[in-house]
């Protein structure tokens, strides 16, 4: 069994931390798992948003550094769900604005729902296969000219910040990503161009990799996503342009994982129907 996998911690004990995590792993009873994780987060005094499904866990929590560390260790312990989350990595970032106002632990059919064609026949993602590149390996990859560097996020996220040279599929709804890949896959296959994709924390890429491979594409992905890249490489701004959107009340981080003064109104285009509702939701959540 894997040993607990703590994230690097350079914070002071009382600092407010955000910790993001996910793991694809079969869970026999998602409701039971959710109850156990909810009790643990509550005991540690954390707020956040966590989704549990029979395919695993996806979530983020925030609280004092010591409480976050206690939660991370207990979440990976053999005593919790027979160690289902042992060795799970965490992406940490310091907070000025409290990211969450409450704790939500939900049970859903999937830990990330992307509406992929034939999703029911796709295998559970292998989070340790050779498609995953460490931040250092990804940095080397970015020097290659033969790869398709594909941003696997929403258009507004790309607009706010992205890896230099990345392609924007123009995603307002996730079906736009599917359409973009299906339209370009024949040319990518013919040219034998590997598709190197990235997302915020890695989960979208893990979920979509088997589907891209089913189209006959060679797939590479950034392990742990943008947040892990920023966490592991202090000079990540060399390859990154702009800011990284985060789905909590902080709105955006820079390449040093520091909260920026960017507001929701500066991120979302209120004239775009696909973004106007996001702006309204962000402003509503900001009131709590």
**What pTM value is reported for the model?**
0.91
CA dist 173 and 141 (Å) reads 28
Closest alpha carbon to 112 in 163, 177, 159: 177
pLDDT digits (tens, 9 = 90+) for 204-257: 999 999 999 999 999 999 999 999 999 999 999 999 999 999 999 999 999 999
Q: Which of 44, 199, 205, 244 is catalytic?
A: 199
Query: Is 16-107 CATH 3.30.70.100?
Result: yes
Closest alpha carbon to 76 in 67, 85, 89: 85
**Domain ranges (residues) in the chain:** 16-107, 119-285
Selected residue with higher pLDDT from 284 and 203: 203
pLDDT digits (tens, 9 = 90+) for 180-212: 999 999 999 999 999 999 999 999 999 999 999
- At 48, the pLDDT band (50, 70, 90 cuts) reads very high
pLDDT digits (tens, 9 = 90+) for 77-126: 999 999 999 999 999 999 999 999 999 999 999 999 888 888 778 888 88
Closest alpha carbon to 111 in 153, 61, 56: 56
Pair 57, 50: CB distance under 8 Å:
yes
> Tokens 């709590």 appear where?
288
Residue 155 has pLDDT above 80, yes or no: yes
pLDDT digits (tens, 9 = 90+) for 19-37: 999 999 999 999 999 999 9
The reply to whether 95 belongs to the active site is no
- At 173, the pLDDT band (50, 70, 90 cuts) reads confident
Question: In CATH, what class is 119-285?
Answer: alpha beta
The DSSP code sequence of 46-73 is: -EEEEEEETTEEEEEEEEEHHHHHHHHH
Report the SS3 class of residue 15.
Answer: coil
Residue 14 has pLDDT above 60, yes or no: no
- pLDDT value of residue 175: 87
Interhelix angle 203-214/174-190, nearest 10 degrees: 50
- At 286, the pLDDT band (50, 70, 90 cuts) reads low
């Amino acid at each position: 069994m894997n040993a607990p996998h703590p994230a690097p911690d350079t914070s002071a004990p009382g600092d407010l931390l955000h910790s993001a995590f996910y793991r694809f792993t079969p869970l026999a009873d998602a409701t039971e798992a959710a109850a156990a994780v909810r009790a643990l987060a509550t005991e540690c005094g954390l707020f956040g948003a966590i989704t549990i499904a029979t395919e695993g866990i996806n979530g983020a929590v925030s609280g004092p550094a010591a409480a976050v560390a206690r939660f991370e260790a207990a979440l990976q312990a053999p005593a919790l769900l027979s160690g289902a989350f042992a060795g799970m990595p965490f992406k940490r970032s310091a907070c000025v604005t409290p990211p969450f106002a409450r704790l939500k632990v939900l049970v859903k059919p999937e830990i990330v729902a992307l509406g992929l064609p034939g999703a029911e026949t796709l295998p559970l993602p292998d989070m340790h296969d050779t498609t995953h590149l460490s931040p250092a390996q990804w940095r080397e990859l970015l020097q290659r000219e033969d790869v398709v560097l594909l941003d696997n996020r929403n258009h507004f996220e790309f607009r706010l910040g992205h890896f230099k040279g990345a392609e924007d599929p123009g995603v307002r709804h996730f079906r736009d990503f599917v359409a973009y890949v299906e339209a370009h896959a024949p040319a990518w296959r013919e040219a034998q161009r590997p598709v190197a994709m990235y997302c915020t924390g890695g989960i979208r890429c893990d979920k979509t990799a088997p589907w891209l491979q089913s189209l006959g594409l060679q797939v590479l992905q950034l392990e742990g996503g943008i947040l892990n890249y920023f966490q592991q490489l202090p000079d990540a701004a060399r390859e990154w342009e702009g800011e990284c959107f985060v789905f909590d009340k902080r709105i955006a981080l820079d390449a040093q994982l520091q909260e920026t003064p960017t507001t929701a109104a500066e991120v979302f285009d209120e004239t775009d129907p696909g973004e106007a509702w996001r702006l309204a939701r962000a402003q509503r959540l900001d009131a709590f």
